[in-house]
């Protein structure tokens, strides 16, 4: 899913004719060999135009194309989470990825017809992809024992970053190909491989442990027993569908803490994800192959940190910290590192490209710790409604940050100068810092009273009445 989402951010570098900016205007010398070594490798002093650059789209049009994915992405989150909690995450994720895969295959045709048709196709791709995280949260709410929750969710979400790691260098290789101008191969490969994935998903995955034929009876009993206080597997699905406590969501500060953290973290992440290839090309002057390689490096670190953070979180929770404090600690650490890296990067240009790449890797990788912070917190406070909650927070985040970040960056960087990019990074650092503050104050780690299934509340009341009568 993340590979399909991020495919456009790299492909657009190959698709669009570059802004013809002379790197000498950014320094006090005409000797670009001394200051911009990557520009020299292109054989001239401007960003090189390749045979694959078919479109003369303005920065505003590019921002609309990059942001259109998130219009659809935010619309499907809440209904996707609601349905996943009610009828099962497996089916919802299947339908979503199927739609996204087919639209990804159609993207090259749409782009060559008109940029508006490409915007529509990317909107539909986002619509299908939007159900992914809520559906996975709904599944983990029914599958993950509390003591293993951070580890299991981090392993699954690490896969999303692995997709980004792979798509960057592969896309760079395709952009250099002369087959159909190269860049369409990015979309054909990702769309086709996603269709193959759907077959495996349907064959291997079940909505609940009780329905699974691929785990032992002992494992099934262990999972069900570990979640017996927060999940009932035999609840009427229609009743569950109609009983989602929407008003309780809206009045809970624990929910709002997650929503704000989701928005601000995504602003930082989308600043990197949707615009890093453009930044590397326009500011650091990387050619296409170098761009693909260096764009992947931060996500390798990201992927590793997601895995590590899950282990750290579960260890801290079992040894010395409460769930609430563990989530706050890991979230604050990850987001603080991101803020520092943004501030450092804002002072970089092609004269110190290596330091810029290192800081990008540190900042992007540190986001991985947040995956065991706010991102898994929905399952902590409301496992029975984790899909719906994830749908709400991710939907608002996609609307505000997914569309907002690329659009704001397009407005702030009309000439793509380092000074304009400095503003971009300072804005991103400020937004992320605000989220750290709000989450640090209001986040919770225990199941909220309104999140407990109705049948369990009734049993609790019966126990109290029995004790009083006795």
d(CA 431, CA 84) in angstroms, rounded, equals 31
287 contacts 48 by C-beta, under 8 angstroms: yes
Q: How far apart are the first and last CA of the chain?
A: 56
pTM: 0.74
| Domain-embedded: residue 34 | no
Cα dihedral 353/355/358/360 (nearest 10): -70
pLDDT computed for residue 31 by the predictor: 45
Cα dihedral 393/394/395/401 (nearest 10): 110
Q: Residue 63: which domain range?
A: 2-17+56-207+244-462
92 contacts 80 by C-beta, under 8 angstroms: yes
pLDDT computed for residue 364 by the predictor: 87
| Domain-embedded: residue 447 | yes
pLDDT computed for residue 231 by the predictor: 66
d(CA 17, CA 70) in angstroms, rounded, equals 24
Question: 223 is written with which tokens?
Answer: 């999972």
pLDDT computed for residue 453 by the predictor: 66
| Domain-embedded: residue 228 | no
Mean pLDDT by 10 residues, the chain (470 residues): 76 75 43 48 44 76 85 87 85 94 95 94 93 88 84 81 76 80 90 92 88 88 82 53 77 95 92 76 71 75 87 90 94 94 86 84 89 90 86 87 82 83 92 95 92 60 46
| Domain-embedded: residue 239 | no
d(CA 161, CA 157) in angstroms, rounded, equals 7
pLDDT computed for residue 22 by the predictor: 46
d(CA 453, CA 230) in angstroms, rounded, equals 7
Question: 61 is written with which tokens?
Answer: 């049009």
| Domain-embedded: residue 258 | yes
| Domain-embedded: residue 189 | yes
pLDDT computed for residue 27 by the predictor: 43
**Domains: count for the chain:** 1
Question: 361 is written with which tokens?
Answer: 């890797």
3-state secondary structure of 22: strand
| Domain-embedded: residue 27 | no
| Domain-embedded: residue 229 | no
CATH number for the domain spanning 142: value is 1.20.1250.20
Taking the CA of residue 334 as centre, how many other CA atoms within 13 Å lie in the half-sphere pointing to its CB? 36
b/e per residue, 163-202, with b = 16+ CB within 10 A?
Answer: bbbebbbbbbebbbeeeebbbbbbbebbbeebeeeeeeee
Q: Is the dihedral of CA 425, 288, 194, 361 positive or negative?
A: negative
């Amino acid at each position: 899913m993340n590979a399909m989402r991020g495919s456009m951010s790299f492909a657009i570098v190959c698709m669009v004719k570059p802004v013809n900016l002379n790197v000498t205007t950014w320094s006090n010398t005409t000797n670009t060999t001394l200051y911009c070594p990557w520009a020299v490798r292109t054989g001239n002093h401007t960003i090189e135009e390749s045979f694959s650059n078919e479109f003369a789209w303005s920065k505003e049009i590019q921002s609309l194309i990059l942001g259109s994915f998130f219009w659809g992405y935010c619309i499907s989150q809440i209904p996707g989470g609601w349905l996943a909690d009610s009828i099962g995450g497996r089916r919802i994720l299947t339908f979503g990825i199927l739609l996204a895969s087919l639209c990804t295959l159609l993207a090259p045709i749409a782009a060559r017809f008109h940029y508006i048709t490409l915007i529509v196709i990317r909107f539909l791709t986002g619509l299908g992809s939007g159900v992914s995280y809520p559906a996975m949260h709904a599944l983990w709410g029914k599958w993950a024992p509390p003591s293993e929750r951070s580890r299991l969710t981090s392993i699954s979400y690490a896969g999303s970053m692995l997709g980004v790691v792979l798509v960057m260098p592969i896309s760079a290789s395709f952009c250099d190909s002369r087959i159909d101008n190269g860049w369409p191969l990015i979309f054909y490969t990702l769309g086709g491989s996603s269709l193959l994935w759907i077959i495996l998903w349907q064959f291997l995955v079940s909505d609940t442990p009780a329905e699974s034929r691929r785990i032992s009876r002992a494992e099934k009993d262990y999972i069900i027993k570990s979640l017996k206080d927060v999940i009932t597997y035999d609840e009427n699905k229609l009743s569950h569908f109609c009983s989602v406590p929407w008003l309780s969501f809206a009045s809970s500060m624990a929910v709002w803490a997650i929503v704000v953290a989701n928005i601000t973290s995504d602003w930082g992440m989308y600043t990197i994800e949707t615009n890093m290839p453009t930044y590397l090309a326009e500011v650091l002057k990387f050619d296409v192959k170098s761009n693909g390689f260096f764009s992947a490096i931060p996500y390798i670190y990201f992927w590793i940190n997601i895995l590590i953070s899950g282990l750290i979180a579960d260890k801290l929770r079992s040894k010395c910290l409460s769930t609430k404090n563990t989530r706050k600690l890991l979230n604050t650490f990850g987001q603080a590192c991101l803020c520092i890296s943004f501030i450092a990067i804002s002072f970089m240009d092609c004269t110190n490209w290596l330091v810029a790449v290192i800081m990008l890797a540190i900042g992007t990788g540190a986001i991985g710790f947040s995956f065991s912070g706010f991102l898994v917190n929905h399952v902590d406070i409301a496992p029975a409604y984790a899909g719906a909650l994830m749908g709400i927070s991710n939907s608002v985040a996609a609307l505000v940050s997914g569309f907002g970040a690329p659009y704001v960056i397009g407005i702030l960087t009309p000439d793509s100068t380092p000074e304009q990019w400095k503003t971009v990074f300072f804005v991103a650092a400020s937004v992320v810092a605000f989220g750290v503050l709000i989450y640090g104050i209001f986040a919770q780690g225990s199941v909220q009273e309104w999140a407990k299934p109705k049948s369990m509340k009734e049993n609790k009341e019966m126990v109290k009445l029995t004790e009083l009568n006795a």
